[in-house]
A and B are shown apart, each in its own frame.
Chain A
Amino acid sequence: MKAMLQRRLPLLTTGAIFAALFIAAGLKYEGFFSSNVAVNLFTDNAVLGLTAIGMTLVIFAGGIDLSVGAVAGFTSIFVATLIEQHGVHPALAGAAALAIGGALGAGMGAIIHWFKQPAFLITLAGMFLMRGCAFWLNTESVGINHPLYARAADIYWEFGPVGVPLVAAILAVGLIIGGVIGHTTRFGRNLLALGGNEQSALLMGLPVGASKVGVYAFSGFCAAAAGLVGTLYTGSGNPSTGIGLELDAIAVVVIGGTVLTGGRGHMLGTVFGLLIFGTIQSVLLFDGRLSPWWARILVGVLLLAFILLQRGLVRAVGKGK
């Protein structure tokens, strides 16, 4: 039991830091403690959150996926173009986009595994490819006027005083599914084993190739889903969606205590990472006085402080066992 606790330490620390951050912000800014702010953390970070789910699993396996932002961007404009300019039904367009995202991911995974190429480079190529294709489809954003979109924007689930919009709900469900895949399926555990030591995973008879291809496909799928949710969020498709998203997603995953070299991590950590990231953004907006450059420096400093704090806490508690 103690060993269990020790292994979960980074996770607990992250959770504690989020709680502290949120409470501190609530005390400082009037109106911060509201269900709206909390739900907005999900709504406003749905695109980021969905990519982070796939990214978490990829990082579990010791890989990295830089293409997610571009895939989201491609999906966004792809869906909008299909619906608006070719009259395709949104459901069909969405399904096609998800299929493309998954297929691209699988392709990258296959190259990474069978040709033993660094994930960083191959997914970088994927990023250039998809971004180029996105702009090739259209350099401008396209508004989506399909009635289904208008209806989707109005979907709210009321839980007492809290109204949960569709976008937030999708993210929540996505996170749960991601957690289930990562922690209660063979596939998820194989990924962790793979990230912990690929040679060992192979010798232990795990399906290394299939897992790798699978996880990149999943990540591509998540990124496409993120692009779709982005079109719901804005009611339009934009080829510039998700520029720089990959770095944010990596940051979220790492803040959540998942180790970039693979083999160690937890989806719940990603949830906390996402919440911390969102809270920092909210605080900046509630403050609203910082000049943009100081805000950037502040984000950097906060990120640093956060990582050091996490480290310090884990070490201190680890010693005091």
Chain B
Amino acid sequence: MTDRLRHFLKSPVLWPLAGIFLLLVANLVLKPGFLTITVLDGHLYGLPIDVLNRGAKTLILALGMTLVIATGGVDLSVGSVVAITGAVAAVLIGQGTDSLVLILGGAIAAGGLAGLINGLLVARLGVQPIVATLILMVAGRGVAQVLTDGQVLIIKHEAFGFLGNGFVLGLPFTIVCATLLYLAVHFALRRTAAGLFIEAVGDNPEASRFAGLATARIKILAYVACGLCAGLAGVMEAANIGAADAQRAGENMELDAIFAVVVGGTALTGGRFLLLGSFVGALLLQMLITTMYNLGVPPAVAPVPKALLILTVCLLQSDRTRRWLGGLFKKKAAA
């Protein structure tokens, strides 16, 4: 038990968790009603629920991003892919497609295709990930705009809207969906050898190939998975606001996703990944955004707290600080 505790205390997940806790306390002090959750028509309402609800998209993106980052890559195109898939869904609905399966299938498949392109560029043609995905980041938004003809397409579809605004057992569907996806990905990676393969490829691609791993295929699959996640997030975004906005949907979301992953303890250099960390990281980010609304931070300086958060988490996670803190504790114990 103490062993487990010690293990937990060393885990990188601890810091983002602590961050969430601190923000919670700050919110509570400044706005005591923060944690209140009320029941309305059998649905739960309240800021904490909002945090979960809003964080769901970043969370889903962060799941896919974790895999890509673990292979030693990065996917800058997820924001654009969110726009594309939203546009695809809107266009399909606009053409009178009624089957939810078709709509979802079409939209998410578009995300998968985008991931496939990224994966092929990176793994087969050896283009550096930042560059390969930068291409789709630039071109992807154009594609989305061509699809929607530059308009904000309005989506009127009951079942589709449920994906963004529905409630299951009193909880927003988005967060239920994100949690299920998290569990699914977790088990798919840890109950099979897929997780190990991804970590191996990220740690040393050459050695992995020598050990008989299909390095290229593993990388491609990671990008495809990331694309699918972005597709799902895009569908959610479109369903949530009931419209596909090619210009602005998913803007800067790639940075949020990367942020969540890295704050969660997965190194950008690849190798070891921490899915749980990404989950917590995404929540931390959303918590921060909601806190800023709550505190009425002027919109113009909103990036500053974000910067301070990144710096704090980074510095706390570093070995140097830990050693220093460790030394402090020891001294106290001795005294």
Interface of A toward B, CB cutoff 8 Å:
111, 114-118, 120-122, 124-129, 131-133, 135-136, 139, 247, 250-251, 254, 259-261, 291-301, 303-304, 307-308, 311
Contact = CB atoms under 8 A, between A and B. Distances in A.
Interface in B101-145: 121, 125-128, 130-131, 134-143, 145
B253 to A, nearest CB: 14
Interface in B171-226: none
A311 B125 contact: yes
Given A135-B300, A251-B134, A308-B125, A121 B139 contact: no
B255 A124 contact: yes
A139 B150 CA distance: 28
B332 interface: no
B318 A115 contact: yes
Contacts of A295: 142
B315 interface: yes
Interface core residue of A128, A247, A291 (most chain B CB under 10 Å): A128
Interface stretch (B9-17, B52-60, B261-269): B261-269
Nearest to A254: B131
A113 to B, nearest CB: 10
B314 A125 contact: yes
A135 B314 contact: no
B142 A115 contact: no
Given A118-B269, A121-B310, A132-B307, A250 B300 contact: no
A259 B129 CA distance: 11
B273 to A, nearest CB: 14
16 contacts: A115-B314, A115-B318, A121-B262, A124-B258, A125-B310, A132-B306, A132-B307, A260-B131, A293-B143, A294-B142, A296-B145, A297-B142, A297-B146, A301-B139, A304-B121, A307-B135
B259 interface: yes
Given A132-B301, A300-B138, A250 B130 contact: yes
B300 A129 contact: no
A124 B259 contact: yes
A131 B142 contact: no
Interface residues of B, number: 49
Contact of B320 (A114, A299, A301, A304): A114
Given A259-B128, A303-B135, A128 B306 contact: yes
B258 A120 contact: yes
A101 to B, nearest CB: 16
A124 B142 contact: no
Interface core residue of A126, A133, A247, A296 (most chain B CB under 10 Å): A296
A114 B321 CA distance: 10
B301 A135 contact: yes
A114 B319 CA distance: 10
A206 B311 CA distance: 28
Nearest to B262: A121
A121 B140 CA distance: 24
B92 to A, nearest CB: 19
Interface in B299-335: 300-304, 306-308, 310-311, 314-315, 317-321
Given A251-B134, A296-B142, A300-B136, A132 B269 contact: no
Q: Which 4 A-B pairs have the closest CB atoms?
A: A300-B139, A296-B142, A132-B304, A293-B145
Contacts of A299: 138-139
Given A122-B311, A296-B142, 4 more contacts: A125-B306, A125-B311, A250-B131, A254-B131
